Structure 1
Amino acid sequence: MVDEGDPKDVVEILRSFELGQVCRGVVSSIKPFGVFVDLGDVDGMVNMAELSWRRFDDPSEVVEVGQEIVVMVLDVDLERERMSLSLKALQDDPLVELTRTRLGAVLRAPVTKVIPFGVFVEIGDGIEGLVHISEFPDGELPSEGHELLVRIADINLGRHRTRLELA
């Protein structure tokens, strides 16, 4: 999206950006699928998946309109005149830190989501892990908010998943 008052060609403006480039911009609008960021002569979009490592339901939980943010350019599509940005790419992946310090750790963690094949529990600041239904001898899953004593059994950085066992 280009500023209507700017006579520059959209493609020319987009060509001035490089993949991996870090830019400062202002959140111009929030949509259910992500946010648009005003980078001066052009807006780029940060998709929901690129906003944060943390789980959230609405982009307004992460940023607000008018907020200045720093983003990384992920893609520039000259044909469609679009630019994809990431806020998450400039944040430390909390799962990487977890692998350095906590594999095998036992901790008390609240259930954040119940699904047919298990429960997700929060094991760190915004980090969730799965306790598979097979860990529950009677097959009955605890409800959201219930605290469990869990052990971090495996961390798969490639799939960005953490497997937990009942301790």
Structure 2
Amino acid sequence: MDWQVESPELWAFLESLHRGEIMSGTVAAIERFGVFVALDDGPAHPVFPGVGFITIPELSWRHIDAVTDVVTVGQRVTCEFLQFDTHNAEARLSLCALQPDPFQVFADRTVVGETLLGTVDKVLFFGAFVTVGDGIVGLVPFKEIQGRPAAGSPEEFRTGDEISVVVTEIERSRRRVLLATSERKDQLQN
């Protein structure tokens, strides 16, 4: 469909938007691939339930099991405009862009060497994933990573256990936290 010809008012509206612009609207429909938003300002979409669209990763900084954990149909939302999707003639939006990133908050307040209490989420052959608060999950590796010795062994972990861990590395760019068990702290610092 040639949106410029079929819906010139919609096309002109979308072209006028700027990245970072704050937009409000109402959740019009929830699909398995994202959320349609009927924007307060702007025309209706001739095909979709809303001119705005939020993909699943843009709903929340945290892992979500269901879209309805974050939004419901009829809910008012305020989002940041990301880009004009010319193929679908819709405004791509982000709900999480207007919320503090819990990973960056964690990285700002946590230092390498700090001991934290965490809960073992999952144990795999290469390491244990441990939640250390506010949706932040770190890895206790069972194998060497980047020249660092293993920070734990599978026998030490059971899903659901609360354990004491030490932060050994925070990688902001990769959004990764490496951990060790408290008993291995001295071993890893050498």
Q: Fold-level match, TM-score > 0.5? A: yes
Q: Deviations over 1:115-140 (max 9, x none)?
A: 34222221121221112123223x33
Mapped partners of 1:121, 1:97: distance in 2: 18
Select which of 160, 174, 189 maps to 1:159.
Answer: 174
Partner of 1:83: 91
Partner of 2:188: none
Q: CA deviation at 1:92?
A: 0.9
Q: CA deviation at 1:28?
A: 1.5
Contact 1:118–1:141 (Cα < 8 Å) also in 2: no
Larger displacement relative to structure 2 (111-120 or 21-30): 111-120
TM-score between the two structures when normalised by the length of structure 1: 0.84
Mapped partners of 2:76, 2:121: distance in 1: 30
Contact 1:26–1:38 (Cα < 8 Å) also in 2: yes
Contact 1:37–1:44 (Cα < 8 Å) also in 2: yes
TM-score between the two structures when normalised by the length of structure 2: 0.75
The alignment covers a number of residue pairs equal to 160
Partner of 2:24: 24
What's the C-alpha RMSD, in Å, of the aligned pairs? 2.0
Partner of 2:152: 136
Contact 2:30–2:67 (Cα < 8 Å) also in 1: yes
Contact 2:123–2:129 (Cα < 8 Å) also in 1: yes
Task: After the TM superposition, list the runs of 4 or more consecutive aligned residues in structure 1 that deviate by more than 6 angstroms.
Answer: none
Q: Which has the higher helix share?
A: 2
Mapped partners of 1:96, 1:38: distance in 2: 31
Greater relative CO (CA pairs within 8 A, separation 6+): 1
Gaps of 5+ in 1: 1-6
Question: Relative to 1, partners in 2 of residues 1:78 and 1:66: Cα closer, same or farther, differing over 3 Å?
Answer: same
Q: Deviations over 1:40-91 (max 9, x none)?
A: 3352211111111112121111122211111001110234312211111111
Identity of aligned residues (%): 36
Give the greater-gyration-radius structure (CA): 2
